[in-house]
């Protein structure tokens, strides 16, 4: 089984403060609180999918992986938006009982249990903002590794990294970071091509913090 206590080399490691919080009570409460109608996000994801199709009309987004999928709302929205193009949709999270249509698998964003290039598209939505500074490139590297073509980040943007203190589950340390995610990705993987970036609010509004995010769509070399 794959989980937060396993590395590729098979050595046992302890979960850090953030992994413990999100896989414990805090994550449970968050999933119960954040109930979103997938249909409200489907038009936005449809536009994101169209951007990728317009970039490479011959490519078919046949399989999609979301890292940190919460209760699976985005996975459901993508399924609605894909018009049958995406036949395999998976998430990497704890709450399998919240979402029945896509596959949801417990694991770690730092050690994704698939081979290189397994998915046509890998993406995050409000997840990299919770990754601590010393591990954000590690998380990006893993999501890039299992993608065959597209890497999409939907996250809070700031020209400079800005941390915000979180609740007691995080010992009141920084737990949310707005960052220049596109610049960080480009510095780390200069061979990849930025297809498009912008504000999610320009694509639509579904009434949640989702539309406060920016998006970056990269094509993996």
Per-residue model confidence (pLDDT) at position 221: 87
The gap between the terminal CA atoms of the chain, to the nearest Å, is 31
Mind listing the pLDDT tens digit for each residue in 102-152? 677 888 899 998 999 999 999 999 999 999 999 999 999 999 999 999 999
Per-residue model confidence (pLDDT) at position 192: 98
Per-residue model confidence (pLDDT) at position 6: 37
Checking if the pLDDT of 5 tops 70, the result is: no
Supply the Cα-derived Rg of the chain in whole angstroms.
16
Closest by CA to 123, choosing from 66, 82, 163, is 66
Ranges of H-type helices in 109-171 = 136-145
How far apart, in whole angstroms, are the C-alpha atoms of residue 71 and residue 95?
A: 6
How far apart, in whole angstroms, are the C-alpha atoms of residue 73 and residue 31?
A: 10
Mind listing the pLDDT tens digit for each residue in 165-202? 877 666 667 778 999 999 999 999 999 999 999 999 99
Strands 88-92 and 103-105: parallel
Which residue in the block uniquely carries the two structure tokens 């409200």?
40
Q: State which of 11-15, 65-69, 97-101, 215-219 shows the largest mean pLDDT.
A: 215-219
Per-residue model confidence (pLDDT) at position 97: 55
Q: Which of the 8 DSSP states describes residue 89?
A: E
């Amino acid at each position: 089984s794959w989980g937060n206590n396993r590395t590729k080399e098979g050595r046992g490691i302890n979960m850090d403060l953030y992994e413990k919080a999100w896989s414990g009570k805090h994550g449970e409460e968050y999933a119960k609180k954040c109930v979103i109608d997938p249909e409200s996000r489907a038009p936005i994801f449809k536009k994101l999918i169209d951007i990728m199709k317009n970039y490479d009309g011959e490519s078919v987004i046949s399989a999609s992986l979301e890292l940190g999928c919460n209760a699976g709302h985005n996975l459901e929205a993508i399924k609605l938006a894909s018009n049958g193009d995406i036949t395999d949709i998976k998430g990497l999270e704890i709450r399998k009982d919240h979402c029945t249509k896509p596959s949801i698998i417990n694991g770690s964003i730092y050690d994704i249990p698939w081979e290189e290039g397994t998915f046509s598209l890998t993406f995050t939505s409000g997840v990299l903002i919770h990754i601590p500074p010393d591990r954000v490139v590690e998380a990006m590297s893993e999501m890039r590794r299992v993608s065959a073509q597209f890497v999409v980040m939907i996250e809070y943007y700031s020209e400079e990294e800005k941390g915000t203190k979180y609740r007691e589950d995080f010992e009141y340390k920084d737990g949310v970071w707005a960052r220049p995610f596109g610049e960080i990705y480009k510095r780390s993987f200069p061979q990849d091509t930025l297809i498009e970036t912008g504000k999610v609010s320009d694509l639509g509004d579904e009434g949640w913090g989702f539309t406060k995010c920016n998006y970056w769509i990269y094509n993996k070399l």
